[in-house]
Structure 1
Amino acid sequence: MASDKPRPSKRRKLDSSALAEPDGGRLSESATLKPLSPAVLLVSLPGLLAHPPNHKYYIPSLVLSLAALRKCLKLSGLSPEIECRAWTGLAEIGMKVISGGLSQSEDYPWAKGIEGEVEKAMSKGSIIAQKHPSLRPYKLHLALLQAQLSQWQHKFKFARTQLRKLLSSFAPNDPPYTIYSVHLAYINLLVSPSSPNNIASSSSTPSSPPVAGSQDMHAALSAVDDLASAANSKGHKHMVLLSRVLHLRILVAANMWADVPEALKTAEQALGLSYQASATPKPRRPGEQDQFISFEDNFEAAMAVHLLMMSVVFFTHVGNAEEASPRLAHLHALMDSGVLDKFPDGMVEIPLPNSAPVVLHVTHPRVLFLLTFLVSSTSKRDAVGRKPKRKVFAQAGLDAWENESARDISFALWAGIGDVEEVEQRLARIRADLLCELIALSIMRSEFDVAEKNLDILVAHTRTYDIFPLFAARIALHHGHLAHALGQSVRASQCYNAAAGNAEPGSFVHAAALASSFALRLGLMQREHSAQGEDQEESGLPYERDIVDEGIHIAQACKGMGGTLEAVGQVLLACLTPEILVAKQHLKQALSLATKARDNHLRALILALIASHYFHTASDHALEMLQTCEQLAAGLGAPVDKSKPRPDSTDAAIPVGNAPLSLWVGERFLELFRRAGKEARVQKQLAHNKLLAKAVEDLVRRGTRTGGQDPLNTMS
């Protein structure tokens, strides 16, 4: 059957040499594209050949770009603009080669000696740009490249002097993006560590991530204030917001925790954020979710993610779980909404009126994605329960790390090899941190097989990625806690000493190792006195003066190290003081800190110590605290499912959680029941204590036959 629709007419074939005008007319045969001049073509080739640093043709693109620019500069009759572009391009490509370590590697002979060529390019380009006012943007850009080269050459003072002179030489008609770029480069230079960093050698890895000195940090804070003043005077709100976030970031990196609350409040106000602290999670209906502010602007979204992570870290550090919880929930909501898709290569633009935008390099989204799991796991301090969130987030983060490691990472065209290495190192450290969270939680919950397995994985992982010196102290501390929990006092003491020796003085790990070692010594001394039947007099110090002074010094070192260590310091002071009322005050303060941080593992120990003080004077109060302590101790190792073994079963293992603490509480229960004449409760408690005693014996037997890898040999 024939169709009723008319057949469409055929298109007329156009001559490939002819172009169509906008109004649909025809151009003449002579109006064709003009060939580019060799100079323009050669100076434009680097932009056409550009590839991300993780592309297989990245190195060939650098070689070809250098060849094209060198050939362009050999041409005669170049205009000042083309010549200046060529010199600037040669300096840019050369800095990529230098910062990537290619000029220091024997595998790339073509890059050897390029430092002199880069310096010549910067000098030639600056002279041309200075002679022609229209080329002033090239002069500013070359000055930034010169500062980068000086920093790579470890001429830090010279680089800072260059940027300070540049900041004071701006003309009124200079575009805002150049002014802000110099401000940001100066801040970045100040917060960078002023210590040599040999790119070609990675064997001299520091024991902790390098941090700039306190004087540099204060200078950086002053530079951020200058940036904020410049942005306020021009009415650029996004740059003001950036200065607020930078100010907070510097304070957190420098551990200047006392100034963080005010800076955090200012930054949250700049983003329009406000939160209400909640002691307990609000009940929700099925499918109901909290409502949080979302961000359509890419820059604001990136700043919100960074700000929320820093706020959660801060409140977790100080032990304020009520303030950390709503911010963590907002962070999860942003991640679930796909906020990282707004800057997939870690680059955001800050639009400016009547000016080019400021291109900002933020933390790579792959790092932020996995860092969210780590921050979530760290903020959940409670180790009690069948499925502790701390364990859930840590394991989910490790699974995500394995999945993401097989995927390619997206980088911007202007990124270098150093950016790739930095992201890879950060991802490797995040996995190590997640393993540390699992190890610590497993030791708390008496899951010693899991802890030993993850310790082996952690050592292998840090060795593989050459970051073992960064984690040596923490690995030794974990080994010490594991040996301590298994009753291996000699090995635990050796591990604590190794952790303190490898940690940076004044750091969290250093203070934790000293406190752990001192607590172990106190316990061994009390055990020795109990074995010898020695009774301490109520008057006088129970320990020698030097022991007390050492404990007070360690307790003072724990102050300012966060809520957990401050509570540990209070516990040590309570153990050292001979006055019961003073000891109760220290324990009360420690209990308040542990409760505020929702650290039920430490809270169980503190409750046991408080109950011992009321055991003979207020039996009812002691019984109440012992009951809470018993519940917490049992929850430190609760199975995932609620299935219980049959009473007549002899093979099924009954989970007891923290067996030593549970047995100690059971013995106190037994004495209180006997004192009250409750014979039925006495018999029931005797049977339960028998099971707990067997669990403790199994624990001691396991610790006796388990040697494990010696962390002292591992660090050699």
Structure 2
Amino acid sequence: MSQSDSDLKPLPPAVLLVSLPSILAHPPNHKYYVHSLVLSLKALRKCLSLPALLPDIECRAWTGLAELGMRVIAGGFSQSQEHPWANGIESEVEKALSKGSIIAQKHPSLRAYRHQLALLQAQLSHWQHKTKFARNQIRNLISSLMPSDPPHIYYSAQLALITLLTSPVSPSKTSAPIKSPPEKLQSRTPPASPQPSLQDVHAALAVAQEIEDRAVSEKHNHVAILARVLRARILVAAGMWIDVCEALQRAEAALGLSYEPASTPKPRKPAKGDPQTQQPPPMPEQFIMFENPFEAAMAVHLLMLSIVYHTQSGKAAEVSPRLSHLHALLDSDVLDKFPEGHVEIALPLGPPLVVQVTHPRILFLLAFLVSSASKRDAVGRKPKRKVFATEGLATWETEAAREISFCTWACAGDVQEVEERLARIKADLLSELIAVSIMRSEFDAAEDNLNVLIAHTRTYEIFPLFSARIALHSAHLAHALLKPARALRCYRAAAYHAEPGSFVHVAALAGEAALGIGVQRRKACMGGAWRQGLSESDEPWPDDEPAEMQIEKGMEVVKMCRGIGGSLEAVAHVLEACLTAEILKAKQHLRHALDIVTKAQDNHLRALVLALIAAHYLHTAGDHARTMLQTCEQLAAGLGAPLAKDATAAPGSQDAKGTAVPVGNAPLGLWVGERFLELFKRAGKEMRIQKQTVVNVQLSKAVTDLARRGSSAQTQGS
């Protein structure tokens, strides 16, 4: 035995027992996680049963017991019959909090434990649905802090208060227990998380401002950045879009970010001998890369918030550089800088501030979703909206099989939350793919993915969260398949199941209003034969409503659309143009709608707006109408662009290999073709009349096939 070994002395039993939990700690997705919890609880109970404990050991043991108990509660073990060892843990946590607080109050040297116990007490009260009490506990803790206390305690308390203000009901109280090990997302129906009240949102913003003010005065720069990003996130989550822009600008400035809006016009092609031909090509755009893990995490979060905001505002030019920067960061493996979902902020005095951020696995897949949602253009052979959604789904399948990294102080509830968010992201990606498939008249793909979405949401039991959106997709699909009665039923189902005032709710009402306007005009033109040319497999149309009632409902929907903003702002102008009896006002609304969709690069809606504008100028300004019809024709053909290399083939014809060339949006293409034919006949252009007649016959056949799709006549013919 060496001299150093002979000097070693056995640890006192109390010190060994109180230290065991840190030695036995495992991440919540480890196969021995439950075993570590059970052994750690037994060790602390054994420690507390020993006589004559020192105050610091006893306080440490009570605090550790409260911490472990909260992990057990947050993981749902105490509500599961499969884990009898966790029964009664709630009362044990309450006892530990009370005992620990008494000891900490008696000994000033144990003041740090008082802060931790107060945070745990607020967490338990929040889990018990004592929301106001939990908030008051945090506020009392903040008011009791002294200037000599380490700054990380103040910031931690303020961040905890923001969490309580922005999450009114604790999800862990209502969540079902999970099995051990938590390898898969357990089958359960997640509760609908209520949105915080406007008063709570303003209170959270005030707390974020207090954090920033103190951080600036104390020169804690990273904490100030965190406060600005938090403010932007709170505003986006609350849908307070008016204040989001300024908050994002301040947060970007704090991180040193600035962007030039992307310009859509292509540069002039220099002629031969032009001096510009001797200039070197422009250098690729350089973006800031962050080495600090905290700054990297804030940059990724902020870029996603900015992309969401500018997409919602319809500013495609602002989205483009930020999306490019986001991809550049992800390509540089920025997520590896915080692999377990938390970052540290070093402070001049005391320990660092540990901040839990969105888990990098979620951020990685969320980047595909954000990229797909931000690309509004569905025209072309490979629209980026479809590419990002498809690649995101493929990546999801790969990432779902990989183990997720968690820190040792995480709980099983954190694992479940991450896996549930991943399940929702896949559902959102499927929704994007369904939407772009409907826009591009790829109806087989839309139906297949709609079935996959329904199966996925039922498998993970998140169907109630997506039922309204699924109904809206079904309505859009039926609308595109010339099934007005089924579309009406699905629109109403979507509006019924959606949260009042939400995007899906207003979009469903707008779809119903637009459908009603179309059917009403069709009846006025065709009378009793209005269903001629529509789908043969549609449902019976319900009883008619008075035209005055439809107009009144339509104007209510217009007001709701303008309250949502984004693409629905353009829809509001389109609906109001259809409902107004004044031609000048209708033209003004359509011009406003055209400006919005052009700025957002939403060529699907732009094609409709151009068609409506062209209809107003068809008999008064033929040249102007022809220009808009030409653009509309290109967009309609691009919504389902040919996959063949020879893109010059006529729509509905066959390429060199005999493969049928898709016609894009056939109903819109046929309507445009008929308008062209009118203009050519008016001008007496025989050659153009003959060519357009041939094209119209092919488009008419495509519309007829669409109307017969799924009917017995089509099945027998095929």
Q: Hey, what's the Cα distance between the residues in 1 that align with 2:282 and 2:618?
A: 48
Q: 1:281 to 1:678 in 2, by over 3 A?
A: closer
Cα distance per residue 1:106-128 (max 9 Å; x no partner): 00001001111111111111111
Is residue 668 of structure 2 the alignment partner of residue 665 of structure 1?
A: no
Residue 174 of structure 2 corresponds to 198
Of 685, 695, 705, 2:702 maps to 695
The one-letter code sitting in structure 2 at the alignment partner of 1:18 is Q
Cα distance per residue 1:234-291 (max 9 Å; x no partner): 1111111111011011000000001101111111111111111122287799996320
Residue 25 of structure 1 corresponds to none
Cα distance per residue 1:74-119 (max 9 Å; x no partner): 1112111111111111111111111111001000001001111111
Of 98, 109, 128, 1:123 maps to 98
Conserved? CA contact 1:486–1:703, under 8 Å: no
Is residue 451 of structure 2 the alignment partner of residue 446 of structure 1?
A: no
Q: Hey, what's the Cα distance between the residues in 2 that align with 1:346 and 1:58?
A: 19
Aligned residues, how many? 675
Of 691, 696, 718, 1:684 maps to 691
Q: Hey, what's the Cα distance between the residues in 2 that align with 1:456 and 1:637?
A: 21
Is residue 597 of structure 2 the alignment partner of residue 619 of structure 1?
A: no
Is residue 608 of structure 2 the alignment partner of residue 605 of structure 1?
A: yes
Cα distance per residue 1:448-503 (max 9 Å; x no partner): 00000000000000001111011000000000110111111111111001000000
SS of 1:560's partner is helix
SS of 2:168's partner is coil
SS of 1:356's partner is coil
* Structure 2 counterparts to residues 335-350 of structure 1, below 5 A: 335-350=330-345
Q: Hey, what's the Cα distance between the residues in 1 that align with 2:217 and 2:488?
A: 59
Of 201, 206, 218, 2:202 maps to 218
Cα distance per residue 1:689-710 (max 9 Å; x no partner): 1100000000000054599xxx
Q: How many angstroms does 1:354 deviate by?
A: 2.2
Conserved? CA contact 1:39–1:72, under 8 Å: yes
Conserved? CA contact 1:308–1:331, under 8 Å: yes
Q: 1:130 to 1:317 in 2, by over 3 A?
A: same
Gaps of 5+ in 2: 178-186, 268-278, 530-545
SS of 1:469's partner is helix
Residue 76 of structure 1 corresponds to 51
Q: Hey, what's the Cα distance between the residues in 2 that align with 1:136 and 1:147?
A: 17
Residue 382 of structure 1 corresponds to 377
Q: Hey, what's the Cα distance between the residues in 1 that align with 2:281 and 2:410?
A: 45
Residue 537 of structure 1 corresponds to none
SS of 2:73's partner is helix
Conserved? CA contact 2:644–2:661, under 8 Å: no
Residue 714 of structure 1 corresponds to none
Is residue 154 of structure 2 the alignment partner of residue 179 of structure 1?
A: yes
Q: Hey, what's the Cα distance between the residues in 2 that align with 1:396 and 1:640?
A: 19
Higher Cα radius of gyration: 1
SS of 2:57's partner is helix
Q: How many angstroms does 1:659 deviate by?
A: 0.2
Conserved? CA contact 2:169–2:194, under 8 Å: no
Residue 525 of structure 1 corresponds to 520
Cα distance per residue 1:603-637 (max 9 Å; x no partner): 00000000000000000000000000000000000
Q: Hey, what's the Cα distance between the residues in 2 that align with 1:400 and 1:100?
A: 28
Conserved? CA contact 2:127–2:170, under 8 Å: no
Q: 1:570 to 1:138 in 2, by over 3 A?
A: same
Conserved? CA contact 1:383–1:601, under 8 Å: yes
Residue 145 of structure 1 corresponds to 120
Q: Hey, what's the Cα distance between the residues in 2 that align with 1:387 and 1:215?
A: 45
Conserved? CA contact 1:443–1:481, under 8 Å: yes
Once the two structures are overlaid, the 10-residue window that deviates more, 575-584 or 194-203, is 194-203
Q: 1:125 to 1:186 in 2, by over 3 A?
A: same
Is residue 345 of structure 2 the alignment partner of residue 370 of structure 1?
A: no
Residue 402 of structure 1 corresponds to 397
SS of 1:414's partner is coil
SS of 1:71's partner is helix
SS of 2:376's partner is coil
Q: 1:121 to 1:524 in 2, by over 3 A?
A: same
Gaps of 5+ in 1: 1-15, 20-28, 535-542, 708-716
Of 291, 308, 321, 1:296 maps to 291
SS of 1:51's partner is coil
Residue 477 of structure 1 corresponds to 472
The one-letter code sitting in structure 2 at the alignment partner of 1:655 is P
Q: Hey, what's the Cα distance between the residues in 1 that align with 2:430 and 2:412?
A: 27
Q: 1:376 to 1:282 in 2, by over 3 A?
A: farther
Q: Hey, what's the Cα distance between the residues in 1 that align with 2:563 and 2:392?
A: 29
Q: 1:612 to 1:71 in 2, by over 3 A?
A: same
Once the two structures are overlaid, the 10-residue window that deviates more, 100-109 or 275-284, is 275-284
Q: How many angstroms does 1:546 deviate by?
A: 2.8
Residue 217 of structure 2 corresponds to 233
Once the two structures are overlaid, the 10-residue window that deviates more, 191-200 or 376-385, is 191-200
Q: CA RMSD in A?
A: 2.2
Q: Hey, what's the Cα distance between the residues in 2 that align with 1:63 and 1:530?
A: 76
SS of 1:348's partner is strand
Conserved? CA contact 2:17–2:44, under 8 Å: yes
Of 645, 648, 652, 2:659 maps to 652
Q: 1:612 to 1:464 in 2, by over 3 A?
A: same
Residue 261 of structure 1 corresponds to 245
Conserved? CA contact 1:488–1:703, under 8 Å: no
Cα distance per residue 1:358-394 (max 9 Å; x no partner): 0110000000000000000000000000000000100
Q: Hey, what's the Cα distance between the residues in 1 that align with 2:223 and 2:208?
A: 11
The one-letter code sitting in structure 2 at the alignment partner of 1:449 is D
SS of 2:351's partner is strand
Q: How many angstroms does 1:639 deviate by?
A: 2.8
The one-letter code sitting in structure 1 at the alignment partner of 2:204 is A
Residue 164 of structure 1 corresponds to 139
The one-letter code sitting in structure 2 at the alignment partner of 1:63 is V
Q: Hey, what's the Cα distance between the residues in 2 that align with 1:35 and 1:445?
A: 74
Q: Hey, what's the Cα distance between the residues in 1 that align with 2:234 and 2:584?
A: 42
Conserved? CA contact 1:483–1:703, under 8 Å: no
Q: 1:226 to 1:17 in 2, by over 3 A?
A: same
Q: How many angstroms does 1:299 deviate by?
A: 0.4
Conserved? CA contact 1:194–1:212, under 8 Å: no
Once the two structures are overlaid, the 10-residue window that deviates more, 270-279 or 424-433, is 270-279
Residue 428 of structure 2 corresponds to 433
Residue 81 of structure 2 corresponds to 106
Q: 1:420 to 1:706 in 2, by over 3 A?
A: farther
Residue 233 of structure 2 corresponds to 249
Q: How many angstroms does 1:445 deviate by?
A: 0.3
Conserved? CA contact 1:91–1:121, under 8 Å: yes
Q: 1:521 to 1:340 in 2, by over 3 A?
A: same
Q: Hey, what's the Cα distance between the residues in 2 that align with 1:649 and 1:315?
A: 43
Q: Hey, what's the Cα distance between the residues in 2 that align with 1:301 and 1:706?
A: 59
Q: 1:559 to 1:327 in 2, by over 3 A?
A: same
Q: Hey, what's the Cα distance between the residues in 1 that align with 2:73 and 2:342?
A: 22
Of 549, 563, 566, 1:563 maps to 566
Q: Hey, what's the Cα distance between the residues in 2 that align with 1:626 and 1:703?
A: 31
Residue 41 of structure 2 corresponds to 66
* Structure 2 counterparts to residues 452-463 of structure 1, below 5 A: 452-463=447-458
Q: Percent identity?
A: 65
SS of 1:349's partner is strand
Residue 633 of structure 1 corresponds to 636
Q: How many angstroms does 1:400 deviate by?
A: 0.5
SS of 2:408's partner is coil
Conserved? CA contact 2:310–2:319, under 8 Å: yes
TM-score (ref. length: structure 2): 0.91
Conserved? CA contact 2:513–2:550, under 8 Å: no
Q: 1:703 to 1:582 in 2, by over 3 A?
A: farther
Q: 1:517 to 1:234 in 2, by over 3 A?
A: same
